[in-house]
């Protein structure tokens, strides 16, 4: 178990203002690194995330014999293709990153390697059968430990499948699509609810034939193909921008701008929720030069009112739902989130952690089997909360601290290193 520290966050005594940039998008960084590793030639990626999760992906690739140079936020990867990946001398350590483990399983399913993927205790508690099942159907040998890591993977000759996702998951979709690049025939994923589409955008941009259809369900198909080497820039992570924008919505009189942030339509649902809550939201797109749309987002405080989030909205909001709960505590009426069972199997049980933390601050919050309810407006107190080592909860509680009546001590705020290592100084710069 990783040691945690207790960090005090003071209430905002004045409106938040100014502009900031956030780290490169984690989801995009993972995918660019993994694809570059099997794209023969030299790929250069600027703005690559320095988050612990993305460092885990680079570590896994290095253990597979992929040469990687790094200078600040820029990396250069010498892609070796699937056939020149080396058998690792040890188990592949994915740290705390479920994205690393699931996507690496998909990428390596079509290799000739026999290996084991493991990670920190937090990762070892997360479900992996959801990615193992479709990879087995394609022809890989995948063994889990009672449905969880460590995962033993023996790659092999793959055949394309049509697979309907039982649970909306961009990670499972991406793993199957990456495996499909080494499979005979067509590999098709069917989604009842569309999830983030970074993988198919990147593959299409790299001249891999990707076909999409919207009925019945959303269907994404790939064929056996070899991506090309590339140069690209990773936009700012909208999920890292979210707590800063939520802070602007929470503190009266505030207005905050996040520059050069990703505006992928499958990731901007939180901006729509902020507007429904009553915040003022302004989006300024930039010219597109890569696979992802980019721009600036400004959020200003408004009179907050409760919202309801249903199952169809959850996949596009999964990382931001703890922030919805915090803002719900500051809003007039009952904010209700349903269809979010997935929150219980993230880095922590985020439903239990969020509700417990909000109650500790004096909010009226209750767990649902698949979500939560928060009734406001509440007068949040200071005191102490435990983020249970979960970076999303830690950032959500930091936002709550800004609107509290006294200082809030947050146990485990150091976990923000998983996604946003500079979160605390960036937040402080807006005071």
Q: What is the mean pLDDT of residues 185-209?
A: 95
Residue-wise pLDDT tens digits, 262-294: 999 999 999 999 999 999 999 999 987 899 999
Q: What is the pLDDT of residue 1?
A: 44
* pLDDT of 329 over the 70 cut: yes
Question: Best-predicted range by mean pLDDT among 248-257, 311-320, 419-428?
Answer: 248-257
Binned at pLDDT 50, 70 and 90, residue 415 comes out as: very high
Tell me how crowded residue 284 is: count the other CB atoms within 10 A of its CB.
Answer: 11
Q: What is the pLDDT of residue 167?
A: 86
Residue-wise pLDDT tens digits, 134-171: 999 999 999 999 999 999 999 999 999 999 999 889 99
Q: What is the pLDDT of residue 36?
A: 98
* pLDDT of 86 over the 70 cut: yes
Q: What is the mean pLDDT of residues 372-383?
A: 96
Binned at pLDDT 50, 70 and 90, residue 340 comes out as: very high
Q: What is the mean pLDDT of residues 344-369?
A: 95
CA distance 248 to 239: 15
- The percentage of the chain sitting over the pLDDT mark of 90, rounded to a whole number, equals 90
Structure tokens given for 383: 């005191």
Residue-wise pLDDT tens digits, 218-235: 999 999 999 999 999 999
Residue-wise pLDDT tens digits, 382-399: 899 999 999 999 999 999
Residue-wise pLDDT tens digits, 45-67: 999 998 899 999 999 999 999 99
Cβ atoms of 267 and 239 closer than 8 Å? yes
- The percentage of the chain sitting over the pLDDT mark of 70, rounded to a whole number, equals 99
Output the CA–CA distances (angstroms, integers) from residue 57 to 50, 123, 195, 397, in the order listed.
Answer: 11, 14, 21, 28
Q: What is the mean pLDDT of residues 172-188?
A: 98
Q: What is the pLDDT of residue 140?
A: 97
Question: 32: which DSSP letter?
Answer: H
Cβ atoms of 386 and 402 closer than 8 Å? no
Ramachandran assignment for 232, one of left (phi > 0), alpha (psi -120 to 50 degrees), beta (any other): beta
CA distance 106 to 99: 11
CATH superfamily of 26-232: Enolpyruvate transferase domain (3.65.10.10)
Q: What is the pLDDT of residue 287?
A: 83
CA distance 316 to 325: 16
CATH topology of domain 6-24+235-428: UDP-n-acetylglucosamine1-carboxyvinyl-transferase; Chain (3.65.10)
Q: What is the pLDDT of residue 212?
A: 95
Q: What is the mean pLDDT of residues 340-361?
A: 94
pTM exceeds 0.75 for this model: yes
| Catalytic site positions | 319
Q: What is the pLDDT of residue 418?
A: 84
Find the distance separating the first CA and the last CA of the chain, reported in whole Å. Answer: 34
Q: What is the mean pLDDT of residues 353-371?
A: 97
Cβ atoms of 109 and 159 closer than 8 Å? no
H or E segment to which residue 272 belongs: helix 269-277
- Print the SS3 string covering 158-220: EECCEEECCCCCHHHHHHHHHHHCCEECEEEEEECCCCCCHHHHHHHHCCCCEEEECCCCEEE
Q: What is the pLDDT of residue 316?
A: 87
Q: Bridge-partner residues for 401, per DSSP?
A: none
More confident call, 251 vs 287:
251
Q: What is the pLDDT of residue 4?
A: 66
CA distance 371 to 309: 9
Judged by DSSP in three states, 349 sits in coil
Q: What is the mean pLDDT of residues 78-100?
A: 96
Least Cα distance to 140 among 125, 124, 162, 159 occurs for 159
The reply to whether omega before 377 is within 30° of 0 (cis) is: yes
Q: What is the pLDDT of residue 419?
A: 83
Q: What residue ranges do the domains of the chain occupy? A: 6-24+235-428, 26-232
- Residue pointed to by tokens 């049980």: 349
Q: What is the pLDDT of residue 288?
A: 77
């Amino acid at each position: 178990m990783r040691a945690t520290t207790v960090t005090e966050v003071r209430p905002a005594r004045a409106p938040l203002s100014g502009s900031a940039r956030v780290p490169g998008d984690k989801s995009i960084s993972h995918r660019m690194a993994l694809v570059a590793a099997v794209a023969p030639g030299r790929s250069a990626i600027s703005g690559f995330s320095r988050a612990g999760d993305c460092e885990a992906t680079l570590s896994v690739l290095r253990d597979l014999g992929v040469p990687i140079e790094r200078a600040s936020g820029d990396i250069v990867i010498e892609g070796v293709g699937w056939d020149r990946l080396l058998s690792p001398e040890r188990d592949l350590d994915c740290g705390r990153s479920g994205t690393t483990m699931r996507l690496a399983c998909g990428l390596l399913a079509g290799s000739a390697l026999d290996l084991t993927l493991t990670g920190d205790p937090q990762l070892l508690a997360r479900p992996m059968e959801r990615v193992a099942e479709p990879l087995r159907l394609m022809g890989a040998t995948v063994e889990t430990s009672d449905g969880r890591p460590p995962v033993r993977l023996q790659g092999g000759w793959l055949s394309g499948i049509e697979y309907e996702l039982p649970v909306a998951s961009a990670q499972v979709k991406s793993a199957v699509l990456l495996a499909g690049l080494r499979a005979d025939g067509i590999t098709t994923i069917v989604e009842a609810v569309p999830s983030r589409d970074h993988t198919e955008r990147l593959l299409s941009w790299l001249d891999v034939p990707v076909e999409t259809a919207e009925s019945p369900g959303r269907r994404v198909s790939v064929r056996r193909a070899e991506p090309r080497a590339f140069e690209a820039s990773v936009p700012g992570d909208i999920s890292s921008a979210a707590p800063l924008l939520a802070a602007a919505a929470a503190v009266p009189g505030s207005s905050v701008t996040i520059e050069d942030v990703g505006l992928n339509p499958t990731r901007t649902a939180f901006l729509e929720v902020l507007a429904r809550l009553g915040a003022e939201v302004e989006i300024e797109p930039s010219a597109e030069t890569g696979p992802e749309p980019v721009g600036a987002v400004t959020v200003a405080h408004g009179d907050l009112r409760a919202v309801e989030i249903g199952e169809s909205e959850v996949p596009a909001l999964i990382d931001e739902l703890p922030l919805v709960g915090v803002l719900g505590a500051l809003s007039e009426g009952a904010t209700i989130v349903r269809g979010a069972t997935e929150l219980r199997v993230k880095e922590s049980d985020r439903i239990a952690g969020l509700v417990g933390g909000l109650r500790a601050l004096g909010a009226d919050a209750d767990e649902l089997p698949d979500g939560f309810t928060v009734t406001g407006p509440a007068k949040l107190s200071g005191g102490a909360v435990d983020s249970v080592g979960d970076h999303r909860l830690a950032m959500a509680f930091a936002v709550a601290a800004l609107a509290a009546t006294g200082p809030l001590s947050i146990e485990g705020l150091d976990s923000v290193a998983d996604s946003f290592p500079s979160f605390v100084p960036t937040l402080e710069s807006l005071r």
